[in-house]
Structure 1
Amino acid sequence: MSKAELLGAIAGLNRGILASPGDRKRVAALTTDVEALNPTPDPLAATDKLAGDWRLIYTSSQALLALDRSPIVKLGHIYQCIRPQQQRIYNIAEIYGVPLLEGVISVLARFEPLTQQRLQVYFERSIVGFRQWLNYYSPSQFIPQLQSRRPLLALDVPLNDNEQQGWLDITYLDDDLRIARGNEGSLFILSRV
């Protein structure tokens, strides 16, 4: 089994939204095979590979995929932007649907390395707003706004990071693909932007 086979298997699944139970089983098996070939056994030490903006190309997270089930809005691209030097993660989901009501849902978190593969993630803020009010064009352009702590024209809710936390295992990392598994059993496959 190879990385190319895994990418081929998820290509038509719209990040997992269109995955049947058979598709999910096949992707799970292919993912396990690819993880066994992980070229970066200590991904948290490989900050040059880990850092950057990653686009979600597949997930088994039903909570995340549920964002697409609304009849009014649909889920656009989902990004996870990692800044290892600051120990920060920015999760950004683009929402579209009704014209001029395109939105962004962002969750900001800090992390602590627990092992060579595992991050403890503490969720600190949730921001929901319209793209035009936030002047949002891309994750790399938006993150400096989030880092500045200036007030945003959005719903900006502080989260209790003692209660809102989880872990993430990075099980595969190369120059353009990252596979991770979360504490709720979810699988995340991301490609570098």
Structure 2
Amino acid sequence: MIKLSEFESAVDIPNQFERLMGVWELRWSSSKSPVLNYSPLLNNFQILDLDKSRALNFLSPKGFLGKLLSTNILAKLDIIDQKRINVTFEKAGIIGPQVFGKNMVFLSEIKTAQTGWLDTTVLTDKLRVCRGYKGTTFALLKREDLLIADFFNPINN
């Protein structure tokens, strides 16, 4: 089904900028890694803020524990062409609960440069399919009920 969708899709990221921005939930992956695959027990989001050339990979348990702790990887994005986005991972760590009106944030610089790319092969209002530089295919659904700012505000404060 993914190959058929890719065959029928014409992706042009510079002209579909608004469609790509937002909160995307991982729903399927060809990876064997539990962190890169769908689990009904985890929130696994990719938040794309193209206006600021940044992304956040967000992983947390669903339910009460997810409100207390999430692991995060902050990345810089560079659009290369109609399908490819270069990704440079900059910080990794956890975001904890709010204490005195401010989230506890523990993000460390990634000392050794970690770079890669994603080719977006399908992009609709609801579905995004990507292929990563290591050969992994990802299928994500857009979450219209979640806002980009809700994920980046704890980092910005």
TM-score calculated relative to the size of structure 2: 0.76
> 58-67 vs 111-120, which deviates more?
58-67
More helix by share: 1
Please list, as runs of the form range in 1=range in 2, the aligned pairs for 1:13-162 lying within 5 A after superposition. Answer: 30-38=1-9, 40-65=10-35, 75-95=41-61, 102-131=68-97, 153-160=104-111
Pairwise CA distance, 1:113: 1.4
SS in 2 for 1:78: strand
Root mean square deviation of aligned Cα: 3.1
Equivalent pair of 2:59/2:72 in contact (CA under 8 Å): yes
What do the CA deviations read for 1:91-142 (whole angstroms, capped 9, x no partner)? 1111259969952011110111122100110011112244466x89xxxxxx
Equivalent residues of 2:38, 2:44 under 8 A apart:
no
1: CA distance between counterparts of 2:121 and 2:5?
Answer: 9
- CA deviations over 1:130-165 (Å, ceiling 9, x no partner): 4466x89xxxxxxxxxxxxxxx524321113x6211
Aligned-partner Cα distance in 2 for 1:178–1:121:
17
1:180 to 119, 130, 146: 130
Q: Whole-Å Cα distance in 2 between the matches of residues 92 and 111 of structure 1?
A: 16
Larger Rg: 1
Structure 2 distance, partners of 1:91, 1:123, is 10
Q: How many residues align?
A: 143
Preserved CA contact (<8 Å) 1:44 1:50: no
Is 1:191 aligned with 2:157?
Answer: no
> Within 2, Cα distance between the matches of 1:37 and 1:187?
17
TM-score, normalised via structure 1 length? 0.63
Q: Which runs of 4+ in 1 moved over 4 A?
A: 66-69, 96-102
Determine if contact 2:29/2:36 at 8 Å carries over to the other structure: no
> Which structure is higher in strand share?
2
Per-residue CA deviations over 1:49-87 (Å, capped at 9, x if unaligned) read 111111111112233447899xxxx85111111111111
AA matched with 1:37: E
Structure 1 stretches of 5 or more lacking a match? 1-29, 137-151
